[in-house]
Structure 1
Amino acid sequence: MTDTSDQGQVADAVKGNWVDTLAPAAARPYLRLSRADRPIGTWLLLLPCWWGLMLAIAAEGFRPFDLWIGLGCAIGAFLMRGAGCTWNDITDRDIDGRVARTRSRPIPSGQVTIRGAMIWMGVQVGLSALILFTFNWAAVGLGVLALLPVAVYPFAKRFTWWPQVFLGLAFNWGALLAWTAQTGSLGWPAVFLYLGGIAWTLFYDTIYAYQDVEDDALIGVKSTARRFGERPMPWLRGFTAATVILLAVAAALPLSASGALVALVGMWLMGWHMCWQMARLDIADAGLCLRLFRSNRTTGLIPLPFFAVAALL
């Protein structure tokens, strides 16, 4: 079934997005299934890739192929985020139909069949593989391993109060992959970037989860928001501190003293932005939670120019 009007738009999509206004009507349900109308997820998947690439360039020096790594990561993040969201909606189709914010998604609303969703997921994974195989074999191996946390994540909220950990494992894998694509092997800086990214994911996705905390409680879905209840601030402060410290260690390991100092300024500003989010947070205001969650694109962009300056130094 295809959508021929704006009636199929998803409740939490960006208003006036390009999918609802410019995309062909027949493609809209599939693009919505991939969250193309909600680009923040692509950014959150892409930014750790660019962290890993930029830090590797700062440590190892620039090569022309690095331009392709950066572009390939961007295209791959769009495709694999879409494939992951498609898989998530396939596995969550019964849950999504019982939650106010998600019942308008393409599968529970009847815009896309399960068979159509499976085919669409395969197309996205296949195109991503074509990009992956342009990288070195160590990066290819990491890319294949990345499918494991992607496959497990949708089920995590059924068995643990910490599904955000599994999201972090999947969404920050690009830090490992991009570093390895540039350097040829995995290194400790990439590992610390990865761990710092997981802490950051725990921060932003806990804020996101407060939108659905009441519905989640009714249907028995678990999350850190439900686990923390009315007292998320001590946890959010801890995630902020862990993010800044782990990313600072990642930057300090491979860089010169001057380069590390520049990178540390970037980490401090990133932490400041996370503190700004906490100062504004009202867990009872679902709209505010969504806006703060989306502001994490800025949070993740902050370190990049500092890594670039460190590379010049």
Structure 2
Amino acid sequence: MIIYSHFIKSISFLKILQKKILYKNKVNYNTLGYNKANKRKYRLPNNNKIYMKNIKLNKNGLQSKNRVNLVRKYPSKKRNNNNFKINALNKKNFNINFTKIKYLLNFTKKITLCSLFIYAINNYFFDMTLTSGSSMHPLIDKNGVILFYICNDALKFFYKLHKIYIDSYIYILQKYNNIIKFMFRLNNIIYFNENISEKITNLKKKKEKSKHIYNRGDVVLLISPVNSNKRVCKRIIAIEKDKIYVDNFYSFIEIPKNNVWIEGDNKNDSFDSRNYGCVHVNLIVGKAFFLLDPFKSFSFINSKKNYQIESSRFLYLSE
């Protein structure tokens, strides 16, 4: 009896073992059902429990390989078409980058301002040019030098500014002197008034001396009266109202208003006013103030040091 019970227990144990462990390989394929993509739901006939299992469709190992090959052999034309469509959508959804536009506008603004500034300086303040020839020797070497000059417009502007400054200064001093004379009548104040009057007279003399933009001895760059396409560098010898001897002192000429008499420093090799007469002030381009000789050195052009008035050539010198 004991042996029989033991045998029954062992059989029941084997059945349980068969149900729990060994039964998973025994599947009834008639109960299999497809569910969505590549998932199969099936039920074991001897058990009420439902198991879910993902089974890949692999018929002789071809389907998975075919999928890989399809991906690898995806036509390049279709890919290009897709890229073209994406680019078209990106163009439609194009967003303007305002920071780049602002940067470009600032850059163009700086370039235009710099170009206008350089243009204004070169045409209205000062400029440089290359001169050559022996007419201004020894000041300018015949091999050529770089000549810096102040433009005519800038000279006129500073001349008018200087004139306004002197006139206003004289006017203020005169008014101040009249007020002191009217308010006070003492010896010390009279002495002070005398100092003011001396200052006024000195300013008036200074004004008379600087009444011309261009003076004797100035080295100027001007348009040639003979050839308008050519610029020449000469020195001013006489200004308006001066009377100067010409033709080896056989005759003299009076310089008319707004005209100058120009000559080269090397008179033996210079084509100047002795050939074509007086020159109008409007032909003057500018006044030279600095020269740069690449082969020697550089120097400032000072009319007082480089030139002395030949009083014997003048019949009359205007103030």
TM tier, smaller: under 0.3
Greater fraction of residues in strand: 2
Which structure has the larger Rg over C-alpha atoms?
2
Relative contact order, CA 8 A, sep 6+: which one is greater? 1
Greater fraction of residues in helix: 1
| TM-score normalised according to structure 1 size | 0.23
| TM-score normalised according to structure 2 size | 0.23
